[in-house]
Amino acid sequence: MTELKKKRPEFRNINAFTDLTTYRLPPAGWVSILHRVSGLMMFVLMPFIIWMFDKSISSELSFEYLTSAFANGVSIYPGWFLKLVVLALIWGFLHHFTAGVRHLYMDATHSVTKEFGKSSAITTLAIGLGLTVVLGAKLFGLY
């Protein structure tokens, strides 16, 4: 090892104020964190999900109320805000599902190499975001 080669930093005791700004999280780390965030988001927004489900299947009148809520809003929340919340839920579900399938595949096949972790994490992020864009375009009436 030569002295000219730049030494990689060692993070033994990470200081949140000085070290986290320079720390680069690998794609597998982002997928793991976002998997937890999406699960928490779906859990916290469960009352909203149940309300939408109830309004969509109770009767024709309640379904019309739900569709008008997305067009005109409900109470103090405008329709575009409700659509953004639903878009966040769509992303949360799709990311949580694809990351869960990734974890199950890795557990079943014992594919725990660094290279596979990186490539499968990037694939998971791309599939989740790609499907979110497609369904978001449908939600906002682009097709």
Question: pLDDT at residue 36 above 90?
Answer: yes
Architecture label for domain 27-139: Up-down Bundle (1.20)
Measured between alpha carbons, how far is residue 45 from residues 35, 52, 86, 90, 107 in Å? 15, 11, 10, 12, 29
pLDDT band at 8 (very low <50, low <70, confident <90, very high): confident
Question: Range with the lowest mean pLDDT among 3-17, 71-85, 128-142?
Answer: 3-17
pLDDT band at 84 (very low <50, low <70, confident <90, very high): very high
Element (H, E) at 85: helix 79-109
Residue 131's pLDDT is what? 96
- The C-alpha atoms of residue 129 and residue 143 are separated, in whole angstroms, by 18
pTM of the model: 0.80
Which position has the token pair 């791309």? 126
Residue 1's pLDDT is what? 53
Residue 3's pLDDT is what? 60
Taking residues 75-96, report their average pLDDT: 93
Residue 4's pLDDT is what? 64
Question: Would the CA dihedral through 79, 85, 90, 91 be positive or negative?
Answer: positive
